[in-house]
Amino acid sequence: MSTTEPDSTLSASAFTCVRCGLTVSALDPDGGPRDHCPSCLSSRHVVDQTDGGASPCGGRMAPISIAVPRGGAWLLVHRCTLCDEMSESTVSTDDNHLVLMRIAVRPLADPPFPLDLFGEV
């Protein structure tokens, strides 16, 4: 193998975060596939959610929200910064807890209405 060819083993086992540049394992601590950076929670837009195939976009998927379905496992909701497509992924045990909580409480910390309206109720 020449030194100019990419190492397929390395690319299959790790990726570089599009936002913070961290080299990230493609597997989470439980051995499942990882699709976002555990530090900043950003991802790359590689899957077309509508067609289910590869996406030609390649934009950065920014974490925008947390969803908690009835099962109780947290899901991270991403929106592409280029095409606005949205996706969700399972939160891993090694994801940055501070960033997760910051995303989860954002609607309460910065509501779309003045908080002094509660005094009038």
For 65-96, what is each residue's pLDDT tens digit? 999 999 888 999 999 999 999 999 999 999 99
**Torsion from C-alpha of 20, 49, 71, 101, nearest 10 degrees:** 30
Q: Specify which residues 60 forms β-bridges with.
A: 44
The answer on pLDDT for 110 being more than 90 is no
- pTM equals 0.77
Stretch (H or E) spanning 36: none
Is residue 81 within 8 Å of residue 43, measured between CB atoms? no
Is residue 87 within 8 Å of residue 49, measured between CB atoms? yes
CA 20 to chain centre: 13
pLDDT tens, residue by residue, 2-15: 344 444 444 468 99
pLDDT above 70: percentage of residues in the chain: 88
